[in-house]
Amino acid sequence: MDIAIIGQPQSGKTTLFNALTRGKADTTGGAGNEMHVGVVKVPDPRLDTLAKIYKPKKVTPAEIKYWDLPGPESLAKSQGIGGRFRNTLQAADAYLLVVRSFTNPAVPHPQGNVDPKRDLLAMLSELAFADLEALERTATRLEDGIKKAKPAERPVLIRQQEAVQKVRQGIEADTPLRRQTLTESESAAMTNYQLLTGKPVIVVFNTDESGPELSFNGLGVDPAVTAGLGQVNACARLEAELALMSDAEEKEFRQALGQGEPARDRVIQVSYQTLGLISFLTVGEDEVRAWSIRDGLPAQQAAGTIHTDFTRGFIRAEVIPYDDLVRCGSTAQGRKEGVLRSEGKTYPVKDGDVINFLVNV
């Protein structure tokens, strides 16, 4: 899973990136146009338990790759959020939107005062404006294409044009693509455009060390605007400092400071909830591994996350819930007790399913 970190200047984007990745990226702004990339392993205690049973050669957790994009201050004003980093934004699975709520005279806010509600709405608007610009260009190309197309080619282009117009009108009415209701054919027509407002968004309120914690409701933001958005509170500066400590030192300092679990873990949890993700597991002597997929994804498609050939060659899936496998101690015992099931291609995979895919490749 790829998550792009976005936010206004001086919001603490790179500081949060360091907190999430245990990194040391420059937070002074001297890095200019540099984009930071870091990979984080998703904590999953189930893997440790399964490793004790199977003693594999390696254990592979699911991963999240964070992309810390340069802030608007390092881009030409005419480019905006949809400028030369648009390809990265389009490729991301979700956005981590950092909203400043901390007060620090040494880090003046570009607009003169800290206002989380204003900054949140401004960033959501930036995503919408970028999409509207892209759709305007697309509409022009489609109109020209329809005029030049052969009669047999026009119906397809006209359907694309109608889908683009519908989505464009929705965004103009303050309804991002992720909240619009499209038909299957309209969704298919829009897939190639990778609009930014179609991506899930997790908002991180970057607070002072002592809070206070913020929420969409507390800020008085229209619930229609924040519907479907995830939210987390974190003091990025403190979290970045703690992330550089050893696990034992970090635990000790957290207890002394009265801090809860690390922000990197809380952000992952909310990200999975917002994106509707779960993890299924595979086990064996070579590897115990977690795979992140959309909740309820059919088994045949879930097999494709391991290898694309598995989708085409899918025969069936042998499934046993994690708790049953741990209780039984092996899949063989699970089979004897009747908790190891054989499922077909349409089976909706559940969180914690331990699966062995039988394929013909």
Q: Residue 78: pLDDT above 60?
A: no
Residues 178, 309, single domain; the answer is no
Query: What's the CA dihedral at 13, 19, 21, 22 to 10 degrees?
Result: 140
Which domain does 245 fall in, by range?
2-46+59-112+199-275
211-249: pLDDT as tens digits: 789 999 999 999 999 999 999 999 999 999 999 999 999
DSSP three-state, residue 314 = strand
How many domains does the chain fold into? Answer: 3
Residue 232 shares a structural domain with residue 176 = no
Residue 93 and residue 74 share a domain:
yes
Residues 10, 350: Cα–Cα separation, whole Å:
41
Quote the Cα angle for 95-178-275, to 5°. Answer: 50
CA distances from 196 to 4, 81, 92, 104, 276 (A): 11, 10, 9, 31, 18
pLDDT tens digits, 193-208: 999 999 999 999 999 9
- The reply to whether 19 falls in a domain is yes
CA distance 313 to 358: 8
Query: Counting runs of H as helices and runs of E as strands, what totals does the chain give?
Result: 15, 12
Report pLDDT digits (tens) over 139-151.
Answer: 999 999 999 999 9
**pLDDT, position 32:** 54
Give the pLDDT confidence score for residue 72 in this predicted structure: 56
The domain that holds 325 is classified in CATH as 3.10.20.30
Q: Is residue 164 part of a domain?
A: yes
In a shared domain, residues 73 and 192: no
CB 93 within 8 A of CB 199: yes
Give yes or no for a contact between 36 and 18, defined as CB atoms under 8 angstroms apart: no
Q: Tokens 């969704």 identify what position?
A: 187
Shared domain check, 191 and 220: no
Mean pLDDT score, 289-302: 97
Q: What is the CATH number of the domain that holds 163?
A: 1.10.150.300
Q: Which of 129, 139, 180 is nearest to 160 (CA)?
A: 139
Give the chain's end-to-end CA distance (angstroms, integer): 26
236 and 209 fall within a common domain:
yes
The residue type at 201 = V
* 192 and 204 part of one domain: no
